[in-house]
Amino acid sequence: MEHIRTTKVEQVKLLDRFSTNNKSLTGTLYLTATHLLFIDAQQKETWILHHHIASVEKLALTTSGCPLVIQCKNFRIVHFIVPRERDCHDIYNSLLQLSKQAKYEDLYAFSYNPKQNDSERLKGWEVIDLAREYKRMGVPNGKWKLCDANRDYKVCETYPKELYVPKSATPPMIMGSSNFRSKGRLPVLSYCWQGTEAVICRCSQPLSGFSARCLEDEKLLKAISTANSGNNYMYVVDTRPKLNAMANRAAGKGYENEDNYSNIRFQFVGIENIHVMRSSLQKLLEVNGNKGLSVNDFYSGLENSGWLRHIKAVLDAAIFLAKAIVVENASVLVHCSDGWDRTSQVCSLGSLLLDPYYRTMEGFMVLIEKDWISFGHKFSERCGHLDGDPKEVSPVFTQFLECVWHLTEQFPQAFEFNEAFLLQIHEHVHSCQFGNFLGNCQKEREELKLKERTYSLWSFLLDDKQKYLNPLYSSTSETVLEPNTVSFNFKFWRNMYHQFDRTLHPRQSVLNIIMNMNEQNKQLEEDIKDLESKITQCKNGMLTKDLLHAVHPEPPALKTSLCLKEQSLLPVNDTLRAIEGSNPADNRYCDYPEEFSKPEPAVVSLEYGVARMTC
């Protein structure tokens, strides 16, 4: 709270940034330890988490007040007009401090308390078990083994403790290969396709320069290749553009020399680096935020940003992996520079195309844990969780989620989860509300003791599972997805980049309509069951009444007008109640006990249209 100078400012205006006549809402702005809150005159609340704030800009003073523009990592943009410049200055300085924390312990996850006890919190972290996931893939087996060489993170600090390597791999091979790879990230197993022995492995670039080689690394790649008896070669996929890889050679790094690795086929796929992606997203957001653009200018700006072109490049690389495994039965080794950005994108998407399990809600969580969190994608640096180098921030994981969204658009029946699930994950990657994405590697997360001090996002999502289910999902849909990446299949993800805009024409997606119809159908089914139950009860009641009538016939009608009047006033079920003995002293029967034993049938005659019974 020491960073908060002003906690409340009244008569603040919230501008509608897409309005042509500068519409605004007037209300009160509150600043808390975790959120910025605006409440308008109709008591509608707008909450902004401090950790979601990407930038704060204080513009020049105007006649109506001091403008304050806030851009968020979840692509929300808010434009306030604060009446007094002094108040605006205080809020501006406070938000600069609160949105860029210096240490992990100051992040929201360490103070967030959903009122769960310790056992419930730990249970939430146990939802995802990677050992169980590798067992599902069929490893360890006769070709692959669990290696404990990294149990103390001595081989590679940014890898998980448990690594799966070829069974023939020896400790010297593992250590030699680690020393020859950037950041020590040696080739290890990422995914084993159960259809054959083909696998996806991952690593970082070799420190080969122009001529250096490593026999241990060459032997390890040979072991990966021979572990797949269905093919005598493997692909090495360098996700970088070839020019970038060649430039790294001058710095003593680079890529594998096919002359030294006789069993490999080398392939570049040309995904740009984090700096190009950051610039591309910024251009996209500039186009989105310009309310004066024509349709032609918007699409021209979208094209010039290159964003969808980058999305296509990532998907094309994943498709190459899937085809190599399915069509050629060849194993694939993937790397970029350090093996934690483009490598994570391509390995995870390739696995998603191959394995229907990863298209379920639980499987998708497992995929993120395996290929992103455990293998050291630098979430805190790429998402700017702390006050660090802005050049390390890049939308790598956002691109992955967008690739998945494009796949859900092409294959609407293949995914158990819906768009809201992807948006919610993106929201909390940046919110710092849960511990899953804090830190840059597993070693760092263990040092922070996140499982003991924070909560898991996965249990939070599973508790509200119905909200994220895709009503079109079919578990019997395509086993292997084969997406078409021609240009017209890529489109602007409106619900990601414009999800907070109030002025857009309200429209409901087909999936939302179907989900609402499903809810209505469920309610109707419950109503029908309730009515059927009541009908059954009524039938049982009538059946009981008929049986009782068969045993105890109705007494003869009294011939006096008084008795007829009394009969007409009795409730319909009163006869049944009396026969069941609820009131044995009922004078309708005790006055005429002899009538119950008469064997003669009653004769019904009609007089002037009135039924009379005689015995």
Q: Residue 127 to residues 164, 209, 569: CA-CA distances in angstroms? A: 22, 43, 66
Distance CA 116, CA 476 (A): 37
Q: Check the annotation: does 341 bind a ligand.
A: yes
Q: Check the annotation: does 204 bind a ligand.
A: no
Residue 370 one-letter amino acid: K
Q: Check the annotation: does 259 bind a ligand.
A: no
Distance CA 277, CA 604 (A): 95
- 385-400 per-residue burial string, b: 16 or more CB within 10 A, e: under 16: bbeeeeebbbbbbbbb
Half-sphere exposure of 77 (CA within 13 A, CB side): 17
Q: Check the annotation: does 263 bind a ligand.
A: no
Distance CA 502, CA 504 (A): 6
Which residues form the catalytic set? 336
Give the strand order in the sheet containing 234-238: 188-192, 199-202, 331-335, 234-238, 264-268
| Longest alpha-carbon distance in the chain | 123
Q: Check the annotation: does 274 bind a ligand.
A: yes
C-alpha dihedral over 198, 346, 405, 72, to 10 degrees?
Answer: 150
Backbone torsion region of residue 366, taken as left when φ is above 0, otherwise alpha when ψ lies between -120 and 50, otherwise beta: alpha
Yes or no: say if 454 and 435 are a contact pair by the CB < 8 Å rule.
yes
List the beta bridge partners of residue 81.
13, 67
Q: Which residue in this structure is represented by tokens 């294959």?
A: 411
Q: 94: closest CA among 111, 116, 70, 76?
A: 70
Collapsing DSSP to helix, strand or coil, 299 comes out as helix
Q: Check the annotation: does 273 bind a ligand.
A: yes
Collapsing DSSP to helix, strand or coil, 140 comes out as coil
Q: 12: closest CA among 35, 75, 289, 36?
A: 36
User: Could you say which DSSP state residue 65 is in?
Assistant: B
C-alpha dihedral over 339, 340, 342, 347, to 10 degrees?
Answer: 80
Q: Is 241 exposed, middle or buried (0-12, 13-18, 19+ CB in 10 A)?
A: middle
Q: Check the annotation: does 339 bind a ligand.
A: yes
Q: Check the annotation: does 340 bind a ligand.
A: yes
Residues annotated as binding site for substrate?
273-274, 336-342
Residues annotated as binding site?
273-274, 336-342
